[in-house]
Chain A
Amino acid sequence: MKIKPDHKTEILMLQPFETFLPLYIDRLLQLNKRYLVSQTYKRGATHPVEPQKDCILLSDYDAAGGANIHLNAVKHDKYAAILDLTKPAHKKKLLEMLDPNSGYQVFWAVVKSRKDLEARINAGYIPHMRRYIAKNTTWRIDHDATVFPQVQIAFGELFITLKWRSQTIRIKFEDIENS
């Protein structure tokens, strides 16, 4: 049986990243992070603000090499592009996207506190994780046992690593949410 995503499940999707603000452009340039890779961000669509807007996720890089690797990884995405903040045309386009009246909601692939995020996941997704583990692994975890979830961001996508005893699994966070 396939469960259609409804309003309730969409609201439950975790949105861990920061909203990208115009003031970050100069700050990134000061840090020599001149490249931004853009891609579609479906987690942003569950954000209560302006749900009808197209959501874009930006990841920052200090060198073209890293940005190119990221771009290659998301090359089939319709919003996949490299923005070079030192190029006026790119900067202008980004500022247009950041305008509150634009059709875009822009996020930045950074979390303010990894610990807070992991605590949020621990607080809100323990039943999901238990269901996922029971269904997809041979782990037999006692009710009071501890499983350590750790978050990883890979090419704008959220992954979770679960460790129990000497075993480790790495799963798309989306799969945990859907469990």
Chain B
Amino acid sequence: MYALVDCNNFYCSCERAFNPKLENRPVIVLSNNDGCAISRSEEAKALGIAMASPAFMMEDLLKKNNVAVFSSNYTLYGDMSDRVMKTIGSFVPRMEIYSIDEAFLDLNDMESVDLVQLAIKIRSTVKQNTGIPVSIGIAPTKTLAKMANRYAKKKRKDAGVFWAANDDLIKEMLEHTEVGEIWGIGHQYALFLKRHGIHTALQLSETPEEWVRVNLSVVGQRLLNELKGISAIQWEFEAPTKKNITTSRSFGKLLSDAHTIKEAIANHAATCALKLRQQKSCCKTLQVFIHTNPHKTDEVQYSRSINVQLETATNNTSEIIKHACKGFDIIFKEGYRYMKCGIIVDQLVPEDQIQHSMFDNADRVKNKTVINALDGINKSLGKELVRFAVQGYEKKYRLKTDYLSPSYTTNINQIIKVKN
């Protein structure tokens, strides 16, 4: 048996956990730069606020209905996610963290445990420890557990738990799930299946295997097995290493100044380098890109990227920043108002399998010692405490966060105060 634990409207729930006045009030959290709604409370959903609705297009609606609006506060959400996962992890022997607000639990060795009682206990403990409401779906496969979770949210709202314990309950759940809502079925496949008269998960589960293999490939066949209760998706207790890493952000306002944009490029490069070191990889190429705002049709547009091939694969911050800045100098043009820049590091190789170059003059042993010391200081004393000069301190390009809540759990100066 698998269980999928999913936090309800996670970002909104995190904001509510520290601000009880928000209970029963519509709440939305906006994406980077306060762009679109990316998390909505049930009350906000009832108002008709759709996922990814642009904030500037619903200003009147938000004001009229007293909707609480928040900029996304990933420091808070990341820390709350850690707390939720630690609580959930204390109930089961094995757990796979699937995303910031979801985790699969392995219940295979828990035959003697009443799974309904366990799910209720997990739900109440997470709520008590963190203030975050969760829903739990239990089923024989990962796909069915994901579906059971969705079913619990839709049809068993009060209990927040659905255990597809027998064939009748699995059938009931499959019958009420549209093909487009199945984990692994995208928009195009959903349209394709509907054109062939397959509208529900139950109909898909009853489709001949041969037809599925021909029309939905081997991935579809795996999905079919999962719907039939035969487990076909492996556990991923550790996240697989990434094949490339991208760091990019839109600027808080349009920028023309090369110095400020270069500062952003250097910071993105440093972030990429840190991520590379965290997964013990080095990159052989990096791409630098900048572009103006394509939605500002009255302004002249410019978009350019450049690939930089490195002589020797590296994860050293100074080297990556140096190459990124060189690339930037080549593609940057004066006279435009830029909206976004970013770095993509590619062709990743494990750091212990680097092909060194005959003509490489860098003292890699010394560089590694320096960067390890830098990482050590930043880890123990604070993020980016020690940095390269080109990264600057001002961050004029910083994202727009007009509605940012405090980092209640990670910054001692912003910790919640109890009044007498």
Contacts and interface: CB of A to CB of B under 8 A. Distances in A.
B111 A73 contact: no
A70 B169 CA distance: 11
A172 interface: yes
A81 to B, nearest CB: 17
A68, A69, A76 — most chain B CB neighbours (10 Å): A69
A155 interface: yes
Interface in B116-158: 116-117, 120, 140, 156, 158
Interface in A30-66: 61, 63, 65-66
Interface string A80-95: 0000000000000000
A154 B115 contact: yes
B70 interface: no
Contacts of B348: none
Given A155-B166, A168-B108, A170-B140, A66 B120 contact: yes
B165 interface: yes
Contacts of B108: 168
A25 interface: no
Interface residue range, chain A = 20 to 34
A69 B166 contact: no
B161 interface: yes
B165 A154 contact: yes
A161 interface: yes
A70 B117 CA distance: 10
A69 B159 contact: yes
Nearest to A76: B168
Interface string A129-166: 00000000000000000000011111101010100000
B166 A65 contact: no
Interface residue range, chain B = 20 to 34
A111 to B, nearest CB: 10
A155 B116 CA distance: 9
A153 B1 CA distance: 13
A32 to B, nearest CB: 13
A168 B107 CA distance: 12
Nearest to B230: A169
B116 A66 contact: yes
A120 interface: no
A114 interface: yes
A157 B115 CA distance: 13
Contact of B112 (A66, A68, A114, A155): A114
Contacts of B1: 170
Nearest to B155: A72
B166 A172 contact: yes
Contact of B159 (A68, A150, A152, A170): A68
Nearest to B164: A73
B161 A69 contact: yes
B332 interface: no
Contacts of B338: none
B10 interface: no
B385 to A, nearest CB: 47
B165 A66 contact: no
Nearest to B229: A170
A63 B166 contact: no
A6 to B, nearest CB: 25
A69 B116 contact: yes
A66 B111 contact: no
B163 interface: yes
A72 B116 contact: no
Given A114-B112, A154-B115, A161-B111, A73 B163 contact: yes
A66 to B, nearest CB: 5
A168 B231 CA distance: 10
A76 B168 CA distance: 10
A157 B111 contact: no
Contacts of A151: 111
B109 to A, nearest CB: 9
Nearest to B123: A65
Contacts of A66: 116-117, 120
A61 to B, nearest CB: 8
B211 to A, nearest CB: 23
Contacts of B167: 172
B108, B162, B166, B168 — most chain A CB neighbours (10 Å): B166
B156 A72 contact: yes
A73 to B, nearest CB: 6
Contact of B166 (A68, A70, A150, A157): A157
B116 to A, nearest CB: 5
30 contacts: A65-B120, A65-B161, A66-B116, A66-B117, A66-B120, A68-B158, A69-B116, A69-B120, A69-B159, A69-B163, A72-B156, A72-B159, A73-B165, A73-B169, A150-B111, A150-B112, A151-B111, A152-B112, A153-B114, A154-B163, A154-B166, A155-B163, A155-B165, A155-B166, A157-B165, A157-B166, A161-B111, A168-B108, A170-B1, A172-B167
By Cβ-Cβ distance, the 9 closest A-B pairs, closest first, are A154-B165, A150-B111, A152-B111, A69-B159, A66-B116, A69-B116, A65-B159, A161-B111, A66-B120
Given A157-B166, A172-B167, 16 more contacts: A63-B120, A65-B120, A65-B159, A65-B161, A66-B120, A69-B116, A69-B162, A69-B163, A72-B156, A151-B111, A152-B112, A154-B115, A155-B166, A159-B166, A161-B111, A170-B140
